[in-house]
Chains A and B, each alone.
Chain A
Amino acid sequence: MSVLTHPITRRVASAFGTLLGVAVLVFIMLRAIPGDQIIAQFGIETGDMTPAQIAALREYYGLDKSLFAQFFSWIGGLFQGNLGFSARAHLSVSELSANSLPVTIELAVLTIVLSLLIGVPLGMLSASKRDSIRDGFGQLVGLAGLSIPSFLLGSALLGWASAKFSYNPNGKAFVTLLENPWLNIQQMAMPALVLAFGIAAPIMRTTRTAVLEVRSLDFVRTAKAKGVPPRRLQYRHVLGNALVPIVTMTGLQFGYLLGGAIVVEQIFSLPGIGRQVLIGIEQKEYAVVQSTVLVIALGFVLVNLLTDVVYRLIDPRVRAA
């Protein structure tokens, strides 16, 4: 198989195509905002400007050119790392994202670890005896995880902890893992737990389905008949083969977390990338909003691409195809 026709190469190429489409959509959204681009960029400060100043700014930002030309100059800027500038924060969007992205990634990694620790054992427990009480319990936890929104759980947990125990590490200014590891872990613990409760549910359901499906396959019966010890059968044979859908689901959820943690970041005052979008919206800095959305979409596409590659590596059937 040549490199050019290799499935992974084609997958990477299609990811690039998707990203180009994402850029077009984000550009259209930016231009669809009612009102003037200059107002979108400078907000209420536009009120203090003279018409000549506004015209000069229009020319400076290339807004007097055609939409087509504007799109390409914007894309060109993106490739040079120029994502725009936040007048409020006095920082470029690249600098803002360099600070906020690690916060979100740390939160996402912690959340995924916790969700796997909850979801996989629970799914296996559920599948171990179908339609039994433990299966019912597992399914009930799964249903709760799917039905209780993170903003409700987060608000209730934070309110309860701070009222009952005067415990609110998130009330203090945010510190990074390097600055103060102990405080950082405390600040991350509650939000990660809240998110993990929701994400463990699809992981639990996927694990349950996959384990039930694999267990009904012939090779498992053969292994059982050969006298493979139950524990080894459970982990090596069944779980080993059920891993593919679990990995896919985990990757998908990790991608969602890059943008889906917005609500939890807001509740727990974590300066992550989702909160950067929200602050941008609140302050009407649309350039910040759209560039940050683009950064998140880029991360999402990369994570999905990576999941696909990992999936091909762990599944011999896909590898051979």
Chain B
Amino acid sequence: MSTGRESWRLLLKSKSGLIGLIITGLIVALIVASVIGVLPYDPITQHAASRMQPPSAAHWFGTDRFGRDIFARVAAGVANSALIAVVAVTFATIVGTAAGLVGGFFRGASDAAISGVTNVLFAFPPLLLALSLASVFTRNWFTIAVAIAVVYIPIFIRVTRGPVLTLREIDFVRAARATGQSRWRIMVAHVLPNITSIIIVQVTLSLSWAVLTEASLSFLGLGTPPPAPSLGSMVYEARTLLTLAPWTMLAPGAVMVLFVVGLNLLGDGVRDALDPQSRGRK
């Protein structure tokens, strides 16, 4: 494992890491612009007079069939999906890492129980599990984030448990045990710091999947309820307008793909920077 500063240097040196960082930075700027409200148009207010206008200086991405500014809607949609993705991945990281640590470190009954739950959650195709959970809850952005988090918890459990199993047998951990430190202390102070790079890599990669899952759910009508803009539902609504107003699908589609490409490249870069074994292998 490399130190923090060294990792940053490696990340900026890797081509995919740098491009990923730039793209993600641009998207974050768009999100900030939307959240603090400096964009000229409101994403929800309808303007009957300016329906389905092609992209222009006034409306960079054109307008939709209700005369709403698509640029503002895309920005708000990205902000919304980023919020859901970040909350979902944070939740999955905390729960999954804790469970993986406890299972791998303590073994025995807790490990058997945690592995059992992991296997059960893995028995569902990911989108299907998110979909079934989303259909059970009353839908709002938070319950969608929870539904997506549940899908990613087993991934974090599996990613942490393996290395923890190896680490607990390594000399410095045994030495700590011999000095009489409590098992919880050893777990938090000695084992956890040694798996952070694995977790960081998994977090970056999971973010891009979470954005796609959220978009797929809202495309299917099971995401954030309207009129809040969401990239997936914007693509869905644009399906019938493809010939008349292609920008209604192209704009949200392109921004979504750009966002995911940025996160994927960033994930590859972070992995190369933090995990010397995978360098150049992908």
Q: Does B239 contact A (CB under 8 A)?
A: yes
Q: Does A109 contact B (CB under 8 A)?
A: no
**Of residues B220, B222, B265, which shows the largest number of chain A Cβ atoms within 10 Å of its Cβ?**
B220
Tell me, rounded to whole Å, the shortest Cβ–Cβ distance linking A51 to chain B.
Answer: 26
Segment at the A interface, from B71-79, B83-91, B116-124, B155-163: B116-124
Using A152-B235, A263-B220 as known contacts, say yes or no to A159 and B243 having CB atoms under 8 A apart: yes
Residues of A within 8 A of B203 (CB): none
Tell me, rounded to whole Å, the shortest Cβ–Cβ distance linking A8 to chain B.
Answer: 17
Identify B260's interface contact among A21, A147, A301, CB under 8 A.
A147
Inter-chain contact A259/B128, CB cutoff 8 Å: yes
Identify B265's interface contact among A17, A143, A290, A301, CB under 8 A.
A143
Using A259-B128, A260-B127, A263-B127 as known contacts, say yes or no to A33 and B239 having CB atoms under 8 A apart: no
Using A151-B215, A205-B282, A281-B135 as known contacts, say yes or no to A293 and B128 having CB atoms under 8 A apart: yes
Inter-chain contact A152/B257, CB cutoff 8 Å: yes
Q: Does B212 contact A (CB under 8 A)?
A: yes
Inter-chain contact A22/B123, CB cutoff 8 Å: yes
Q: Does B8 contact A (CB under 8 A)?
A: no
Q: Does B170 contact A (CB under 8 A)?
A: no
Interface secondary structure of A, over-half rule: helix
Using A29-B133, A148-B257, A281-B131 as known contacts, say yes or no to A301 and B123 having CB atoms under 8 A apart: yes
Q: Does A89 contact B (CB under 8 A)?
A: no
Residues of B within 8 A of A257 (CB): 125
Q: Does B281 contact A (CB under 8 A)?
A: yes
Which residues 220-235 in B have Cβ within 8 Å of A in the complex? Answer: 220-222, 232, 235
Segment at the B interface, from A71-79, A172-180, A206-214, A235-243: A206-214
Q: Does B208 contact A (CB under 8 A)?
A: yes
Which residues 118-163 in B have Cβ within 8 Å of A in the complex? Answer: 119-121, 123-128, 131-133, 135-136, 138
Using A146-B264, A209-B281, A209-B282 as known contacts, say yes or no to A263 and B219 having CB atoms under 8 A apart: yes
Q: Does B274 contact A (CB under 8 A)?
A: no
Residues of A within 8 A of B212 (CB): 149
Number of A-B residue pairs, CB cutoff 8 Å, is 131
Inter-chain contact A274/B249, CB cutoff 8 Å: no
Instruction: Report the nearest B residue to A25, measured CB to CB.
Output: B120
Complex alpha-carbon distance, A213 and B280, angstroms: 11
Inter-chain contact B125/A155, CB cutoff 8 Å: no
Instruction: Report the nearest A residue to B133, measured CB to CB.
Output: A29
Identify B232's interface contact among A146, A151, A289, A300, CB under 8 A.
A151
Identify B123's interface contact among A18, A158, A277, CB under 8 A.
A18
Tell me, rounded to whole Å, the shortest Cβ–Cβ distance linking A302 to chain B.
Answer: 10
Inter-chain contact A300/B219, CB cutoff 8 Å: no
Identify A17's interface contact among B116, B133, B219, CB under 8 A.
B116
Inter-chain contact B220/A159, CB cutoff 8 Å: no
Inter-chain contact B208/A147, CB cutoff 8 Å: yes
Complex alpha-carbon distance, A146 and B264, angstroms: 8
Which residues 288-313 in A have Cβ within 8 Å of B in the complex? Answer: 289-290, 293, 296-297, 300-301, 304
Q: Does B253 contact A (CB under 8 A)?
A: yes
Using A21-B116, A152-B256, A289-B135 as known contacts, say yes or no to A259 and B127 having CB atoms under 8 A apart: yes
Closest 10 CB pairs of A and B: A259-B125, A159-B242, A259-B128, A21-B120, A163-B243, A147-B260, A151-B219, A18-B119, A147-B261, A281-B135
Residues on A lying within 8 angstroms of B by beta carbon are 14, 17-19, 21-22, 24-25, 29, 32-34, 130-131, 139, 143, 146-152, 155-156, 158-160, 163, 205, 208-209, 212-213, 255-260, 262-263, 266, 274, 277-278, 281-282, 289-290, 293, 296-297, 300-301, 304
Residues on B lying within 8 angstroms of A by beta carbon are 116-117, 119-121, 123-128, 131-133, 135-136, 138, 208, 212, 215-216, 219-222, 232, 235-236, 238-239, 242-243, 249, 253, 256-257, 260-261, 264-265, 280-282
Can you name 5 A-B residue pairings with CB atoms under 8 Å?
A: A18-B120, A151-B219, A152-B235, A155-B236, A281-B222
